[in-house]
Structure 1
Amino acid sequence: MRLETERGAISISPDVFTNITGAAATNCYGVKGMAVRSTTDGLVHLLRRESMAKGVKVRFNDDATVSIELHIIVDNGVNLTAVSRSIMSEVRYIVERITGVKVKNVDVCVDSMVIG
């Protein structure tokens, strides 16, 4: 994404958005980690911290905003609505504060629940 300011242009890599988003989401209560669905066996796998960007999809919109889709794994027994709302709020706040780019929407997909 490229931002124009009065002092010049700023280019922000998509990796910056995925790393910030993944870190913000995994810091929320009830989130076990980011998830990815395997193409070979179709199972959902928990991602390690260094590869959690695979569970984040960032789409750059024409109106200089971003749309974010997260795939997560949550702990057993958490309120899914409350956790999802918390993630949406936290991700929107952190991304807008750090990058200065407006977040149009945050979609949270709960792919699995970990028991224990």
Structure 2
Amino acid sequence: MLEKNTNMGSITISLEVVSTVTGGAATECYGVVGMASQKKLKDGFHELLGKENYSKGIEVKDGDTGLILDVYIIVGYGVKITEIIHEVQKKVKYVVESTLDLHVESVNIFVQGIRGME
């Protein structure tokens, strides 16, 4: 849970909310097929997560100056991975900061697999 104090009272934001906003922003980026589970399934494959399970593919930690977000994604085949990663980092940072009014220190992207664009 993250707590913010304002002159009108305190606001508590659950990590689930941060994960949902982060996952939504990441999956909107071109080249991202979807969110991936942090844990490998049998045979080394990663589960492709739906909207209701984004928290399994995102780890939220407190950093020195803000949140550290670890985002696990699956990318589309044939798209430049470095471009996808850069775009996801920019979009996630912007959306989380503007939507939840929380400072993001870093967005770490972990590509868990490559699949055909669906």
Could you list the structure 1 runs, at least 4 aligned residues long, displaced by more than 6 angstroms after superposition.
none
- In structure 2, what is the Cα distance between the partners aligned to 1:85 and 1:51? 23
User: Which stretch shifts more, 33-42 or 100-109?
Assistant: 33-42
Aligned length: 115
- In structure 1, what is the Cα distance between the partners aligned to 2:62 and 2:14? 11
1:79 pairs with 2:76? no
**For residue 100 of structure 1, what is the aligned residue in structure 2?**
101
**For residue 19 of structure 1, what is the aligned residue in structure 2?**
20
**For residue 34 of structure 1, what is the aligned residue in structure 2?**
35
- In structure 2, what is the Cα distance between the partners aligned to 1:62 and 1:107? 15
Give deviations 1:38-95, integer Å, cap 9, x for gaps. 35554212112221221111112354x1110001000001111110010000000000
- Which AA in structure 1 matches 2:35? M
Q: Quick one: which of 58, 61, 65 aligns to 2:60?
A: 58
Between the two proteins, what is the percent identity of the paired residues? 35
Structure 1: gaps of 5 or more residues: none
**For residue 49 of structure 2, what is the aligned residue in structure 1?**
47
Query: What RMSD over aligned residues (CA atoms) do the two structures have, in Å?
Result: 1.5
- In structure 2, what is the Cα distance between the partners aligned to 1:78 and 1:49? 23
- In structure 1, what is the Cα distance between the partners aligned to 2:113 and 2:43? 15
Q: TM-score, normalised by structure 1?
A: 0.91
Give deviations 1:86-115, integer Å, cap 9, x for gaps. 000000000000110100000001110003
Give deviations 1:3-50, integer Å, cap 9, x for gaps. 111221111110110000000000000000011133555421211222
